């Protein structure tokens, strides 16, 4: 016998019991998709997604591509709620045209990603990966690293994660340069940051950390020309999106010894398999610290984003509005 409750499908792993309980307590039937081993929802094709989501009213999604064709094949689907903050894989125009709501988990992973970026800065500056590899090989010589203390850090993008990183850098007495399309004089005065153009940020920064969204305007924001501008020996951190950095150009700059190293949580090869060999070569470099798009994946961060995503689903299924900062498309307002 089929349930009369609205069905909510979760295609993300690590969805906690508290969030499941919240959905059930608010009248939802919850289904946690059983994905094939080694595959995430971003690896599923349209036919697989259609089979999982047939008849569902709500979808808590990770990195699956949400296309117009998929939405047209799922007429019962009312809300797509991302457990994350990026939405470049969702066709927002199609969602609006078809009367759907798309939400993000705004504010849930700020602290987690900022911690991750800061951790990468420290790991690179103090050469932790290289030191451990040497010790494992029986070489206990000290590798000379550098402090983060009183260094100049460039932050590209000043959304919630960028601002979280700025707060953390205050404990290192760092000079913080910020490049953003929306400078806020009051924020700069309160936080002590300095707004600069991208060329100046690259030329002056000891560490450059990227926290911008991926758009047509920001794609390959850091390419060969930008990398040449960076201070020799500087470190590049990307915990935002693959595609903001031209990974092949970054590989060439690292191989040439221009940069001190790179901290990478995201890669071009996540969306473009032709970059797989570039990623492989980046991972092999001793001065690259890498993680598999895991910056937001702390236990606490996932619990927060799970709940925010669930709250948006419940709001829409009740005919209400999710938190304004979470809504990126609302087709209910069309016409």
Catalytic residue at 270? yes
Catalytic residue at 241? yes
143 contacts 131 by C-beta, under 8 angstroms: yes
Catalytic residue among 116, 179, 293, 304: 293
* DSSP per-residue letters across 128-166: HHHHHHHHHTT--PPPP----TT-EEEEE--SHHHHHHH
* DSSP per-residue letters across 234-289: -EEEE-S-TTSB-HHHHHHHHHTT-SSEEEES--GGGT-GGGHHHHHHHHHSTTEE
CB-count exposure of residue 1 (10 Å: 0-12, 13-18, 19+): exposed
8 contacts 59 by C-beta, under 8 angstroms: yes
Catalytic residue among 96, 168, 270, 332: 270
Rounded CA-CA distance 64/142 in Å is 45
Catalytic residue among 7, 179, 211, 241: 241
Question: What residues are labeled active site?
Answer: 241, 270, 293
């Amino acid at each position: 016998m089929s349930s009369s409750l609205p069905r909510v499908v979760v295609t993300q792993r690590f969805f906690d019991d508290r969030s499941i309980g919240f959905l059930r307590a608010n009248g939802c039937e919850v289904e946690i998709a059983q994905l094939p081993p080694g595959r995430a929802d971003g690896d599923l094709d349209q036919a697989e997604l259609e089979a999982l989501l047939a008849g569902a009213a709500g979808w808590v999604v990770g990195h699956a591509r949400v296309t117009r064709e998929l939405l047209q094949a799922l007429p019962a689907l009312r809300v797509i709620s991302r457990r994350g903050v990026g939405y470049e894989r969702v066709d927002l125009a199609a969602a609006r045209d078809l009367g759907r709501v798309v939400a993000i988990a705004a504010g849930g992973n700020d602290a987690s990603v900022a911690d991750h970026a800061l951790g990468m800065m420290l790991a690179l500056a103090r050469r932790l990966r290289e030191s451990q590899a040497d010790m494992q090989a029986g070489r206990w010589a000290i590798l000379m690293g550098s402090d983060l203390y009183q260094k100049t850090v460039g932050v590209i993008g000043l959304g919630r994660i960028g601002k979280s990183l700025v707060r953390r850098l205050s404990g290192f007495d760092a000079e913080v340069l910020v490049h953003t399309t929306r400078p806020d004089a009051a924020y700069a005065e309160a936080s002590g940051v300095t707004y600069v153009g991208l060329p100046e940020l690259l030329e002056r920064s000891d560490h450059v950390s990227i926290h911008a969204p991926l758009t047509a305007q920001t794609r390959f924001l850091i390419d060969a020309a930008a990398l040449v501008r960076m201070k020799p020996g500087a470190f590049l951190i990307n915990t935002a999106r693959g595609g903001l950095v031209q990974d092949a150009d970054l590989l060439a700059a690292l191989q040439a010894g221009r940069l001190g190293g790179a901290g990478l949580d995201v890669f071009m090869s996540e969306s473009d398999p032709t970059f797989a060999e570039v990623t492989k070569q980046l991972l092999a470099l001793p001065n690259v610290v890498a993680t598999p798009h895991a910056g937001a994946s702390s236990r606490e961060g996932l619990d927060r984003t799970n709940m925010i995503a669930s709250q948006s689903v419940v709001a829409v299924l009740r005919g209400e509005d999710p938190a304004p900062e979470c809504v990126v498309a609302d087709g209910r307002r069309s016409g």
